[in-house]
A and B are shown apart, each in its own frame.
Chain A
Amino acid sequence: MTPVPRQRTARLPVLDAHVRRSEGSFPRTSRALRARLVAVALVLVSIALVTVYFRESEGGTLHGAQRIGVSVAMPFEVAGERVARPFKDAFGWASDLLGAKSENAKLKKEVDLLRQQAIANETAAQENKRLQGLLGYVDGPRFPENYSGVATRVVGRPPSAYDQEMLIAAGSGSGIQQNDPVVTEEGLVGLVTDVTSNGAKVTLLTDQSSAVSAMVLESGAAGIVRHGPSDPSALILDRVGKDALVQEGDLVITAGWRSGSLESLYPRGIPIGTVKSVGQQDVDLYKRIQIAPLVNFDALSDVVVLVPNTRPK
């Protein structure tokens, strides 16, 4: 049997084509590989940043660098807010106008009622002051007598519903420090949680990390106000015993406790909200109380930071 000679040339075109295709696709493969490497490297850097940021203390390098960054960016954010302010005001004015007539009638009734209450309150306050003087009553810091306010504008908010925070345009240069309470004329807004020289971060009452010792004004039932489990912007009054008397429409204010050298970050008497609903079940330890906040957290434009008068200037 005669061996059939191998046709080596027949394979050449195939090999040749393969080589040529490789030559053509090499730069593209290299480019794709480079893109992947860049993406992986940047993802790793991001993860490292998150990890270090969480592990380091408030005075750590990354926190310090971030404060410098915020200080640099703050004037631009203030400028941006100033540009946007007329449009926001116009939108607010237009939406307010829609419900103005019905709201006017409601407010007139409310004014009559409040005028009567104000007279009664004034009498009670004078009597209270006289009795405190007689008893030599030792009191904690009171709102608003023992605080001076730093009025400032809201310049920014994180673009995410997870972070119930905002940036304000006043910082340590205006005497503001970490843990200063923040209010509006309606009620409590939150707490200053980070400060730079010309700005500060305020964590709102609706944030998952916020908790305020509070009490129901009418009955004195005490509890803790924190964010609701279902709606991120809702509040609940937790840890109120089942035997406490709480009704719909009751006013919830800060409790402002004091125990030895420790005291609440919030002074007593700042309004938080009104009781929206009260419920309880046999299996629950406490009442289920929902609160309608007095402050509209979605439309904050100006706030007041409470600085204790005892703080050295």
Chain B
Amino acid sequence: MTLDALKAGVLLLFAALVQVSITSNIQVASGHPDVLLILVIAVALLRGPAFGAAAGFWAGLVLDVASFQTLGLTSLLLTLAGYFAGRLGEVTKKSSAHPSLIAVTFGTIGVGLGSAVLHFMLGETVPASEFFVGMLLPTLALNLLLAYPLYGLCRRLLPVSPRERREVIPVV
């Protein structure tokens, strides 16, 4: 568990720096690929909601620091994304063949809407058309393109043990 936490921590730290310096330059309309969100979701799907929430908090904190943004804002969104992706992973472990695509779709939409609400509360607004067409849709498309490769990378880094693979985790 400690080794997993260390590996995930380093991966997310590296991803946050890549996000600030590289992927934020890749722009389709006003949307950017959200590598960090995809990785948090992948980690949460593989390791469960508690681990996912902690990974989301760490990733958000690093991103907020590295990009000179309001501390805690991205942490809040990614903590929730990590937790719910972990829960989704538990629920759909045996029933869905594409948990990463489902989780990334819901995660992107949820984080996008959550971000809009938080920024609205802080006095920063974007017109609805610009938000949905210019930001949310391109980001969703780019994230879905990256979902499989990044999920595969996380699976290699945080392999699922045979015992865990056999285990059926019920909905509590």
Contacts and interface: CB of A to CB of B under 8 A. Distances in A.
Contacts of A53: 70-72
B23 to A, nearest CB: 7
Nearest to B33: A159
Interface string B104-136: 000000000001000100111111001000110
A: interface residue count bin: 35 or more
B: interface residue count bin: 35 or more
A73 interface: yes
B170 to A, nearest CB: 7
A61 B86 CA distance: 33
B69 A163 contact: yes
Contact of A46 (B19, B79, B134): B79
A232 to B, nearest CB: 6
Given A43-B80, A46-B60, A73-B65, A157 B54 contact: no
B18 A80 contact: yes
Nearest to B30: A161
Interface string A192-209: 001000000100000010
A162 B139 CA distance: 14
A161 B71 contact: no
Instruction: Please classify the interface of chain B as helix (H, G, I), strand (E, B), loop, or mixed, using the class held by over half of its residues.
Output: helix
A84 B25 CA distance: 9
B50 A201 contact: no
B96 interface: no
A173 interface: no
A84 B50 contact: no
A155 interface: yes
A112 interface: no
A94 interface: no
Interface string B128-170: 0010001100000000000000000000000000000000011
A175 interface: no
A80 B21 contact: yes
A42 B61 CA distance: 11
A31 B50 CA distance: 9
B130 A156 contact: no
A253 interface: no
9 contacts: A38-B49, A42-B56, A50-B70, A73-B65, A76-B17, A156-B66, A158-B67, A163-B67, A232-B130
Interface of A: 25, 28-29, 31-32, 34-36, 38-39, 42-43, 45-51, 53-54, 62, 66, 69-70, 73, 76-78, 80-81, 83-84, 88, 155-163, 165, 167, 194, 201, 208, 229-233, 298
